[in-house]
């Protein structure tokens, strides 16, 4: 029997998602577990897998459509079944043959939700070039209202893309990313017109807009401060060489850094915390985000329970993260949580840099390249391997002295790497 395939909730609390492209054609049969489409959220592009065997009858939305969670996206049937009258089946299931356009909710219906049979295509974000016309009551989620208030963005200037035209978090991020005018004494940015043939505009992807919005939110709402340190890592490099000589799993310097971060968090548990509206939340497990660069943007999957993992387990998990991030197979749930991120540009020869916090995390460690330098050893000058790191910290849950103690412990662990394995 024919039935509707609906947009899944691929990310927690998501109200919609972008159907990037279909992976099956009309009339094709598929098996349970086969990828039917690529669905893109604000954080990642993931494959939507079939729950059972079936026949793909007709796509109800096209590639690039932004669809409300739960809205029908395709007509499917049992494997081997023949659907003689597709239009009749769609009518029976309450779905029109043509997509319907969602209409904004009326001012008198604050909880109205559009339930069009087929979700309309909406822009990933709407740029506001001029003040919008006056409108009645503005509907927005509590989180969107808070973000708009903290960022100084008038709700009146934001176009809502949630159910019934409701303003949701991504709309505030999009408004910040495209430069929605905010009350400020600073002059507005003026973009000079491009001379023909001298530039190319690359349209923002949903993920690029989300990254931009989150970074602006981070810098505007989290008071950053920075603590830098230098580690002599000769012993660390020697230990890594020994491990790799005796293990089938190859361990990178970054894997050892992650374990050192986990150890420092156990030694200074006050760092393993984030800021929430009502309290500072501390964690018992050390969950660390690992920054991975992809063609579509930066992903930060979370390595959970890093304090209790072996170094080879860390290496194996990170290698899996990298492979799946580059092929678009990171699950949205893997991007949630953690109190600290590790980002490493050492492979590019960068010696030192400062990173922007990944909200709601309270810290991010920026790791530079290992360089051979002259160092003082007693009364002698010798050549040593030096790595420089910079810790960016949210001052709301973490004090400067706490971050300084953490850096002291981290440096000690890096210079005495046997502590990583303890």
Q: Is residue 417 part of a domain?
A: yes
* Predicted structure pTM score: 0.66
**Is 265 annotated as catalytic?**
no
H/E element, 393: strand 380-394
Does one domain contain both 241 and 383?
A: yes
Mean pLDDT for the chain? 83
Which pLDDT value is given to residue 143?
67
372 domain-assigned: yes
Element (H, E) at 232: strand 224-232
* Residue 327 predicted with pLDDT over 90: no
Report pLDDT for 136.
56
Choosing from 204, 224, 265, 395, the catalytic residue is 395
Return the pLDDT at 12. 59
List the CATH number of the domain containing 47: 2.40.50.100
pLDDT for res 43:
67
**Confidence category of residue 412, pLDDT binned at 50, 70, 90:** very high
Q: Could you tell me the residue range of the domain that residue 88 belongs to?
A: 3-92
pLDDT band at 352 (very low <50, low <70, confident <90, very high): very high
* Residues 229 and 376 both lie in one domain: yes
Higher pLDDT, residue 196 or 227: 227
Q: Where are the alpha helices (DSSP H) in 16-141?
A: 86-92
Share of the chain above pLDDT 70, in %: 82
Residue at 154 is within a domain: no
> Would you say residue 116 lies in a domain?
no
Residue tagged 């497990």 (tokens): 285
* Single residue among 92, 119, 141 that ends a domain in this structure: 92
Give the side-chain half-sphere CA count within 13 A for 30: 24
**Quick check: is 318 in a domain?**
yes
Answer whether residue 295 shows pLDDT above 90: no
Domain membership of residue 176 (yes or no) is no
Residue that is last in its domain, among 55, 72, 92: 92
* Residue 195, in any domain of the structure: no
List pLDDT tens digits, range 68-126: 888 899 999 999 888 888 888 888 888 865 443 333 333 333 333 333 333 333 333 33
Q: How far is CA 414 from CA 308, 352, 401, in A?
A: 17, 17, 20
Task: Answer yes or no: is pLDDT of 134 > 70.
Answer: no
Statement to judge: residues 236 and 87 lie in one domain: no
Which range has the worst mean pLDDT, 1-10, 204-213, 279-288? 204-213
Q: Which region holds residue 70: left if phi is over 0, alpha if psi is between -120 and 50, else beta? A: left
Q: 343: helix, coil or strand?
A: strand
Q: What is the pLDDT of residue 119?
A: 36
Top mean pLDDT of 15-29, 295-309, 363-377 is at 363-377
Secondary structure E strands in 64-136? 65-68, 72-77
Same domain, 87 and 232: no
> What is the number of structural domains in the chain?
2
The pLDDT of residue 214: 80
The domain boundary, picked from 51, 68, 92, lies at 92
Cα–Cα distance between 161 and 175 in angstroms, integer?
12
CATH value at residue 398: 3.30.559.10
Backbone angles phi and psi of 274, in degrees to 5: -135, 165
Residues 208, 302: Cα–Cα separation, whole Å: 20
Which of 185, 208, 125, 115 lies closest to 159, judged by CA? 125
Whether 27 maps to a domain, the answer reads yes
| pLDDT reading at 186 higher than 70 | no
């Amino acid at each position: 029997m024919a039935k509707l395939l609906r947009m899944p909730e691929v990310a927690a609390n998501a109200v919609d998602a972008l159907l990037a492209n279909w992976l099956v054609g009309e009339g094709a049969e598929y098996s349970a577990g086969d990828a039917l489409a690529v669905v893109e959220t604000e954080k990642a592009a993931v494959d939507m897998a079939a729950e059972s065997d079936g026949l793909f009858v007709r796509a109800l939305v096209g590639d690039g459509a932004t669809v409300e969670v739960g809205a029908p996206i395709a007509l499917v049937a049992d494997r081997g079944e023949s659907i003689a009258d597709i239009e009749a089946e769609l009518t029976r299931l309450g779905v029109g043959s043509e997509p319907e356009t969602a209409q904004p909710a009326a001012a008198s219906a604050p909880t109205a939700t559009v339930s069009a049979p087929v979700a309309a295509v909406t822009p990933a974000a709407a740029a506001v070039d001029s003040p919008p016309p006056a409108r009645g009551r503005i509907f927005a989620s509590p989180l969107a209202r808070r973000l708009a208030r903290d960022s100084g963005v008038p709700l009146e200037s934001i176009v809502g893309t949630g159910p019934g035209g409701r303003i949701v978090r991504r709309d505030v991020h999009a408004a910040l990313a495209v430069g929605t005018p905010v009350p400020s004494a600073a002059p507005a940015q003026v973009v000079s017109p491009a001379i023909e043939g001298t530039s190319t505009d690359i349209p923002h992807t949903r993920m690029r807009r989300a990254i931009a919005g989150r970074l602006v939110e981070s810098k505007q709402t989290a008071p950053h401060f920075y603590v830098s340190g230098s580690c002599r890592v000769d012993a660390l490099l020697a230990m890594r060489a020994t491990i790799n000589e005796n293990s089938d799993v190859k361990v990178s310097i970054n894997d050892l850094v992650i374990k050192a971060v986990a150890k420092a968090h156990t030694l200074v548990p006050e760092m393993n915390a984030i800021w929430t509206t009502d309290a500072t939340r501390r964690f018992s497990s050390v969950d660390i985000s690992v920054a991975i660069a992809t063609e579509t943007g930066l992903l930060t999957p979370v390595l959970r329970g890093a304090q209790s993992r072996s170094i080879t387990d860390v290496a194996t998990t990170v290698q899996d993260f990298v492979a799946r991030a580059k092929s678009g197979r990171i699950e949205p749930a893997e991007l949630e949580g953690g109190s600290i991120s590790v980002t490493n540009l050492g492979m590019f020869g960068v010696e030192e840099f400062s990173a922007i916090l990944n909200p709601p995390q309270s810290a991010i460690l920026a790791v530079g390249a290992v360089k051979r330098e002259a160092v003082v050893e007693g009364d002698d000058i010798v050549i040593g391997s030096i790595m420089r790191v910079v810790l960016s910290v949210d001052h709301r849950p973490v004090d400067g002295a706490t971050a300084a103690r953490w850096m002291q412990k981290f440096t000690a662990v890096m210079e005495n790497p046997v502590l990583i394995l303890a």
